[in-house]
Each structure stands twice: as C-alpha cells, then as structure tokens.
Amino acid sequence: MGTIIPYKKKDGKTYFMIKFYVGVDPLTGKERDTTRRGFKTKSEARTALGRIELEISEGTFRKPRVETYQDVYDLWVNHYERTVEESTYVKTIGIFRNHILPALGSSKIDKIDLQTAQEAVDKWANVLKNFRMVKAYASKVFDYAIKYDYIQKNPFSLVELTIKKNKIRLDDGDEPENFYTKDQLLEFLNCMKKETNVKAYVLFHLLAFTGMRKGEALALTWRDIDFTKNSIRIKKAISRGKNNHTYLKTTKTGVTRTIKMYPETISILKEWEVKQREENKLLGFNKPQPNQLVFNNERNEFLQPTKTRKWLEHVLNKYDLPKITTHGFRHTHCSLMFEAGATILEVQDRLGHSDVKTTMNIYAHVSNEAKDGAVSKLETYMTR
C-alpha cells in the first residue's frame, strides 16, 4: 500500500520518506498520495508506515492539511508564481532551494520557534551578503501559514538581525569600482575591435554609449532604431524563466523610452546591419525577418544572456584589462554622462530609472575625474 524511499540531504546523510495512497479527494474526485519525510532509519519509516496503514484500514486516518515548512512552502510558492514576473519567480525558488529549504524544509511548521529561526538567520548572515532578503522570503511562508490558520505566530518577526562588522586591514586597498573611466572605456573598445567578434564589439559599444540594460539591448530589433532621427526606442527586454528558457517582457520599469544616439554609434550600427545580413545568409536566413533582432544567435533567435560574460572575460583576460561586468557598462555610461555635465534628471530619463534615488546611488560612485571636477568647481568658487 505504501513505499519507503531513501534520499540524501545536503549534509550527505541518508534519510527515508514514506509515500502512500490515501483515497479519493471528495472535492476533485482525484486519487491522492501523500508523503512523510525525515525518518533516520528504514526501520523507523517502516513502523510509521505500518501505523498509518492501520489507521487507513480502520478509517481513522486524517491527513493533516500541512505538516512541515516544505508543505506550506509548496502551497505558498504555487500562489506566488502567479503574482510576479517569471524571472523573479525563478530567482526566488533558487533562494529557497539553496538556502531556506535546506535549513527549515523538513521541520514541522508549528514546531519552528524563535531560537530555530534565529539560528537560521545567523547562519545566513555568516555566509550571505543579502541575508536580510533571505530572511524576508523565509518569513513570507510563515505569514502565509498564519493567513490560512495553520499556525498562530511568525517566529521570524522577532528575529534580531546581526550587524556585520567589516574588518579593515591597513594594507587593504580601495574596492574596485564596477565602471570604466573614459580612457579605460576607449582602451577596452579598441581591444574589442581587434577581435573578430564584430557582434560583441557592437553590443558593448551600444551598452557603453546608451546606458541600456543588457536585456533591453538583446531584445532590440532593427525596427526599434530610427537612423533618420538617430534614436532608439526601448520598450522591451529579454529575461530567463523556468527551465532556463528566454522570453520577452516589458522593460524593468514597464515604461517605454526613446534615447538619442552618438553619431559614431549610428555609424557602427549601420555597418553591423550590413554585416549581419551577410552572416544570416551564410546561416541560411536569406530573407530579412520582419522583426529581425539586432543581436541574434546562430538560429536567428535571442542570444543567451550569459553569452556577454564569456565575450567580456575573453577580452579582459587576453589584454589584461581592469575587471568589469556587463552591467558595469551601464554604470560607465552614467558616470560619463555626469562628467559631461548632464543633470541628475537627464541621466535618470536616459537610463530609465523609475526612482531618482537609483540614479543618485550610482552618482555617489562616479569616477575620480568627476570627483576631481567637483573639487575644482569648489576651489574656483572659493578663490574668486
């Protein structure tokens, strides 16, 4: 009637679970199975299975609506998936899979107390920079359990968050910034241009001179580019969803924006459009597509977002250039805009930030040239 199945936890230890048939659901008419986990020995699991089978045969078995944290999580995440973007959902279940469920999943939801919750948060704080976010997600499952009357209180609401004290050594240097100065950017682009990967060169030039998000650039079609008005209309982006598939969505803020382009960027894009047609013909795509992507793969579909990191690492390592991420080119554009004298609101509009606070946070990390310029302005003013 039931089966005993061994499984391993992340600590490498083997545990046992029992799976058994509990009859037909009167509401749906469907047959139901249920499971119990966490048995340390096969004998312990067999005893529990025997007890349950006896209860089923006597008609006294009642399956609890939920038992473990995992049970409640399964209910919560099913609802959560319908309330967020697919890419957000994928990131969230990754957080639970990697951090929260290993710590709490097999524990009975009504037995998790403040001490257990505090120990979990303290453990996350020791290894994770964003442990506060992990704690917040773990807490959501308890809030869900309270809402449906499975438990009465949320132990995570009383957890004390530790303050991580950064130890400073006298020989520590400044933390590397994730953007390039003007000279560094030009050197990078010159090195990238030496390579045979024209598509990569055009992409990174575009990111640096427009401040677009990577997902926005990879979603661009030639219809989005107006060569007459020297502008790009940014209205969509790509992201990765379940099973690592790529899909199209709105921009991060959901707002369409149109930005002007630098003359050199226009010229580079025109040259790339011609070369792309040649490459597409070699790949068997002889007729231009109505919504031809500016940056396509060998199947004339979306490039995988991870591709840019591989291209970038190759050039950085080959030419021994300062390390930067793909997103760092967006920060580079922001920094250079400020150095050129653009206002906060102008930069906010160009980058598509919904909140000026986001722009201000980047402004707080502008390059040394911009900081030196601010000091020079003060010096000039004070010595008039």
Distance CA 117, CA 103 (A): 9
- Give me the mean pLDDT over the 153-160 stretch: 94
Assign 254 a pLDDT band (cuts: 50, 70, 90): confident
Contact between residue 219 and residue 342 where contact means Cβ atoms under 8 Å apart: no
Lowest-confidence range among 62-71, 331-340, 370-379? 370-379
Which pLDDT belongs to residue 141?
A: 96
- Kindly state the tokens that stand for 86: 């697919």
Task: Please tell me the predicted confidence (pLDDT) of residue 168.
Answer: 44
pLDDT of residue 153: 93
Say how far apart CA 178 and CA 330 lie, in whole Å.
10
Measured CA distances, 138 to 36, 60, 92, 94 (Å): 22, 34, 11, 12
Determine how many CB atoms are found less than 10 A away from the CB of residue 217. Answer: 25
Q: What number is the average pLDDT over the span 52-73?
A: 78
Closest C-alpha to 326, from 219, 180, 195: 180
* pLDDT reported for residue 213: 94
Range of weakest confidence among 21-35, 71-85, 252-266, 369-383: 369-383
Calculate the average pLDDT of the chain.
Answer: 86
Residue 1 pLDDT grade (very low, low, confident, very high; cuts 50, 70, 90):
low
Check residue 289 and give its pLDDT.
81
- Predicted TM-score (pTM) of this structure: 0.67
pLDDT surpasses 80 at 235? yes
Predicted local distance difference test score (pLDDT) of residue 384 = 59
Q: What is the pLDDT of residue 73?
A: 94
Higher per-residue confidence, 168 vs 121: 121
Ordered by start, the domain boundaries in the chain are 2-58, 69-158, 183-324
Bridge partners for 247 per DSSP: 239
Q: How confident is the model at residue 353 (pLDDT cuts 50, 70, 90)?
A: confident
> Residue range 302-310: average pLDDT?
93
pLDDT of residue 49: 85
pLDDT for residue 124 is more than 90: yes
- DSSP label at residue 301: S
Average pLDDT on 274-280 reads 94
pLDDT at 190: 96
Which CATH fold would you assign to the domain 69-158?
Answer: DNA polymerase; domain 1 (1.10.150)
Please answer whether residues 224 and 297 qualify as being in contact, where contact means their C-beta atoms are separated by less than 8 angstroms. Answer: no
Inter-residue contact 295 to 220 (CB < 8 Å): yes
Give phi and psi for 147, each to the nearest 5.
-60, -35
* Higher pLDDT among residues 32 and 179, named by residue: 179
Has residue 312 got a pLDDT over 90?
yes
d(CA 375, CA 358): 23
Tokens of 122: 């303290």
CATH for the 183-324 domain, from 1.10.260.30, 3.40.50.300, 3.40.50.360, 1.10.443.10: 1.10.443.10
Whether residue 25 is predicted with pLDDT greater than 70 in this model: the reply is no
Q: Does the structure show a pLDDT above 70 at 377? A: no
Q: What is the pLDDT of residue 104?
A: 95
The H or E element spanning position 104 is helix 101-104
Query: Which pairing describes strands 31-39 and 14-24: parallel, antiparallel, or unpaired?
Result: antiparallel
What average pLDDT score do residues 188-202 get?
96
Residue in the structure block whose two tokens are 């997902």:
215
Does position 278 have pLDDT exceeding 50, yes or no? Answer: yes
In this structure, of 100-109, 235-244, 299-308, the range with the lowest mean pLDDT score is: 235-244
The average pLDDT across 239-253 equals 85
Asked if the model's pLDDT at residue 59 lies above 60, the reply is yes
Hey, is 170 helix, strand or coil? coil
In this predicted structure, the answer to whether residue 279 has a pLDDT above a threshold of 50 is: yes
Q: What is the model's pLDDT at position 290?
A: 82
Whether 139 has a pLDDT exceeding 60, the answer reads yes
Lowest mean pLDDT among 1-15, 28-42, 86-100: 28-42
Residue 111 neighbours by CB distance under 10 Å: 11
Q: Tokens in use for 352?
A: 């598509």
As given in the structure block, the two tokens for residue 348 are 């906010």
Contact yes or no for 303/220 (Cβ under 8 A): no
Amino acid at 261: M
pLDDT of residue 169 exceeding 50, the answer is no
What per-residue confidence (pLDDT) applies to 372? 57
Indicate if 183-324 has the same CATH topology as 69-158: no
Q: Is the pLDDT of residue 219 over 90?
A: yes
Cα–Cα distance, 290 to 284 (Å, whole number): 16
Q: Which of 202-216, 246-260, 262-276 has the lowest mean pLDDT?
A: 246-260
